[in-house]
Structure 1
Amino acid sequence: MSFWTSEAYIDGVPNNKNSGTTPACGPVSGLNIIEYWDNNGYSNLITFESKQTVYELLYYYMGSFKVPRTDEHATSPYGPYNNGLEEYFSHKGYTASVTRNFNIQDSNFNSFIVTEVNNDRPGTILYYDNDHYGLHYTTLVGYAYDEMNTRYYSIHDLWSSSRIYRNWNSDLNNNKIWATFKVVPQ
């Protein structure tokens, strides 16, 4: 018997890792989204490029950078992340609307999580979490409810090989989610 009384997820969202030659989580989350759309109606997003090349283009378009005196890389959420994804789509001859939201509220579970998953559109969740993720971009891939009707959402956290389930109320009440990014190709 499953722990979830109901669950929905977007099938086929890649789970690239934030490590090795792809150390910046913003471009890696973007790579997951680009690869998904390349396999779902936008087949020219990745033509002859390797995953590494797509990552490097996203790193450039998003204005990602190595943080001085650390091994960390960063991507600003105040325009460069969403503008970089839009620019990549444009570079490949498509249009995409990438909408960011810094005002995360309870209603965003339905208006962002449920809506995007039900429409098979992976998005991005940016954490500002001192306990586990720090400042970290992830890829939204699903949601679920348990037997107590508790709301969960699932992500590729770019470290684990499996989907990670997070308690929406806990993350919302503890201000762990800094921003969400809705990606709609057109």
Structure 2
Amino acid sequence: MLKKVFKALCIFIMVNLLLIQVPTAFAATSVVLSGVPSYNQNNTGYPYYYYTCGPTAGANILSYWDSMGYIRLWTPTSRKDSKTGVSLIKDLAVHMESKSGEGTLPANFSKIIFHTYDCGYSFGSYLYEKRNSDGSINLTEDQMWGDIKTEINEGRPCALYIGKYPTPVPSGLNSNYNFHWVTIYGYTEDGTQRKLNICTGLNPIGTESGSRDEIVFSTYYTNVPDLDVACLKPMR
């Protein structure tokens, strides 16, 4: 009799253990491109440091491709220049028509390809825009995140334009990135958050490199009206 009771009890316990809901564990996915420099726009000097965040992001991307075998995309003028990228940033500022008080318009970032043509290469440039010209949503958060992941997964760093912040500034936005270009060189997602690895293009004057940071993509997509991703792809 006791054996039957014990057996029934064991079966009852096993069935209930099977019915227990185990929380789903999300394995974090992280892809980070190596070899992407982080230049400091403040090393360009007056008046360039006021409006060269776009060219700085572009210089980071071109230097990466130069290191990937697309040689002659940039020829430093000195050993110091090879570390700061100043001559390349200034050259891109001309191509991108960057201006004081206006910076680099997202539509003008694509003019980075004129520099690649000058160097004997053919690159394609394209823009993923959060909003259409009439203000309506062009890309949802999931769509834009998917586009960024595709670029990084295929080994292509890209530039992120973070438009003007609303007032008051929403929580979670870094004040330094208001109306600013940064370089995306990696991402992480773990089922709860989506984060981007960025080169900020910023640091005090004289600091050789710009800083690096990690930002929560959802926070910026939700709170910043204008968000664009500019991409560069070698065609041959």
TM-score (normalised: structure 1): 0.84
1-structure distance, mates of 2:226, 2:153:
21
Q: CA 1:176–1:144 in structure 2 vs 1: closer, same or farther (change >3 Å)? A: farther
2:41 corresponds to? 18
Residue identity opposite 2:99 in structure 1: F
Among residues 68, 83, 89, which one is paired with 1:55 in the alignment?
A: 89
1-structure distance, mates of 2:161, 2:192:
25
1-structure distance, mates of 2:197, 2:227:
16
Among residues 88, 95, 109, which one is paired with 1:81 in the alignment?
A: 109
1:35 aligns with 2:63: yes
Pairing of 1:66-105 with structure 2 (within 5 A): 66-67=100-101, 74-78=103-107, 80-83=108-111, 85-103=112-130, 104-105=139-140
RMSD (CA atoms): 2.0
1:168 corresponds to? 217
Check the 8 A contact 2:221/2:227 in 1, yes or no: no
2-structure distance, mates of 1:48, 1:14:
14
Residue 185 of structure 1: how far off its partner (Å): 1.3
2-structure distance, mates of 1:47, 1:171:
35
2-structure distance, mates of 1:184, 1:65:
25
Q: Give the secondary-structure state (helix, strand or coil) at the position aligned to 2:227.
A: strand
Among residues 136, 144, 152, which one is paired with 1:108 in the alignment?
A: 144
Check the 8 A contact 2:106/2:230 in 1, yes or no: no
Residue 75 of structure 1: how far off its partner (Å): 1.3
Check the 8 A contact 1:10/1:142 in 2, yes or no: yes
Residue 149 of structure 1: how far off its partner (Å): 3.2
Check the 8 A contact 1:99/1:182 in 2, yes or no: yes
1-structure distance, mates of 2:150, 2:220:
19
Q: CA 1:48–1:174 in structure 2 vs 1: closer, same or farther (change >3 Å)? A: closer
Structure 1 spans left out of the alignment, 5+ residues: 68-72
2-structure distance, mates of 1:48, 1:166:
31
Q: Which has the larger radius of gyration?
A: 2
2-structure distance, mates of 1:153, 1:177:
17
Check the 8 A contact 2:43/2:86 in 1, yes or no: no
Percent identity, please.
24
1:70 corresponds to? none
1-structure distance, mates of 2:68, 2:59:
14
1-structure distance, mates of 2:192, 2:201:
27
1:138 corresponds to? 182
Structure 2 spans left out of the alignment, 5+ residues: 1-26, 131-138, 170-174, 204-209
1-structure distance, mates of 2:31, 2:150:
11
